[in-house]
Amino acid sequence: MNLKQYIKEYHEGRSDWFIEEVQSVTAQQRVMNVLNLKDYLDGKHKILQKEPYMYNGKEFHPRKIVLQYAKTLLNFQKAYLLKNPITITGKERIVKEYQKVNKQGKFDRLNYKILDKMLKYGQVYEYVYLDKNTIKSKLIDASEGYPVWNDENEMIAFVQAYTVTGVDYYVIYSEDTVETYNNKGGQLRLTGRYANLSGLPIVYHTQNELSETDGKSELEDWISILDNMEDLISKYMDTFYKFMDPIAVSIGQQLKGELPSEVVGKGINLDDGGDFRLEQNKTDYQTFEVLYKTLLQALLDISQTPAVSLNKTDVSNLSEVSIKLLFQLAEIKASINEQYMREGIEQRFEKIRRLLEYKGITFTDEEFESLGLVFQYALPSSDKEVIENMKALREMKGISLETLLEHNPYVNDVQQELMRLKEENNTTYSSEVNNKTQDVVLKKM
């Protein structure tokens, strides 16, 4: 089913079909969920809705402690995967051109934003376009984007809708055109129609058990645990302050008269056998500690965050293998996020190839298929050991120079590094590999 058939079947062929599409119940539910998540990240937590109550005949305003653990966990997941820029690999000519596009369009920064939005809201959209001979991308927020899917879950159009100072704006993306509308003045009108050179926007989304086209935010798995942690610590603080005012209890007859305060300080005099003490409730801090630690550990487990990253584990005298075991869950989570990013970036590569053709730059299928991505996780490790392993492999001719550079923790642009190595004349790379060997390898490549 194409877009024309979709409009005819579901919107009776109306020219303003996109308004009804945006206002559908399913679309509005998804957008409201995104807005609620934004409010949560902004600090509007459930604990802040706690009402005051009466205590000892007076109105008592309970403590409302907000824990922004969600931001910390999200920052860890983003940095773990994309702290080191993604390395583009493949045949020299195409990699050189794509690296140029990558730098001009600042796609490394864009990748970080994409992962950020995808983890927070479940999905985000990227539109690749040509701007004054420069290939760029813009992100469309999940609260503004409305993909249009046919009955086979194929995206046939995309609607961007947003409101500014009471005016509704619509951008309609189809395979061939981009149209803009607004209702300024109270009436919907077409304000522009442009050729769409790159096709429909790219949809980045996480896995959702209830939908193949929509993602699910990471926050949705954490919020209930964080709400209970905030409620627990807030109630404990209330309990602590309530019990700070003890009740004085005097047993026996108090003697008349007082000792001069300037001699022995303030005090009271009791008859023989008398007693005086301050009575107060005892707080069960052990139970609080156990409950809070249990909730925190559950939060770390569900988010697949190593406790060591939040200073919750002693890491003294640990081997590198032990460190890797501590970060095993983070490795698994990063590999899942990598697949989401890889799927979208591969679509971006196809659109870049399409736009480069308009600039007269073409590639063969063999060159395009050689393109690859290498993600370097921010796993604590000894770079010295990695380099020694690669050196040993190189000396035994078990690894090519290009593959060595792809996995070098200090190199992000492989082709640029190869050119630099080629320009050098008197550098020895190992005890058995000299410049002559290197030049032969470069010529073969």
Predicted TM-score of the model (pTM): 0.80
**Which of the four pLDDT bands, split at 50, 70 and 90, describes residue 432?**
very low
Q: Return the sign of the alpha-carbon dihedral for residues 32, 136, 18, 174.
A: negative
222-239: per-residue pLDDT in tens? Answer: 999 999 999 999 988 888
Residue 407 or 366, more confident: 366
User: What is the C-alpha separation between 43 and 129, in angstroms, rounded?
Assistant: 35
Please say if the pLDDT value at position 440 is more than 50: no
Determine the average pLDDT of the residues in 252-281.
62
What local confidence, expressed as pLDDT, does residue 425 receive? 54
Q: Residues 295, 223: contact at Cβ < 8 Å?
A: no
User: What is the C-alpha separation between 41 and 299, in angstroms, rounded?
Assistant: 16
Please say if the pLDDT value at position 64 is more than 80: yes
What local confidence, expressed as pLDDT, does residue 271 receive? 66
Q: Residues 49, 221: contact at Cβ < 8 Å?
A: no
Question: Using only C-alpha atoms, what is the Rg of the chain?
Answer: 32
Determine the average pLDDT of the residues in 67-71.
92
Q: Share the mean pLDDT of the chain.
A: 84
Q: Return the sign of the alpha-carbon dihedral for residues 40, 43, 44, 48.
A: positive
Q: Return the sign of the alpha-carbon dihedral for residues 422, 425, 427, 428.
A: positive
What local confidence, expressed as pLDDT, does residue 445 receive? 39
Q: Where are the domains of the chain?
A: 383-445
Contact partners, residue 30, CB within 8 Å, separation at least 6: 142, 214
349-361: per-residue pLDDT in tens? Answer: 999 999 999 999 9
What local confidence, expressed as pLDDT, does residue 133 receive? 87
Determine the average pLDDT of the residues in 407-418.
76
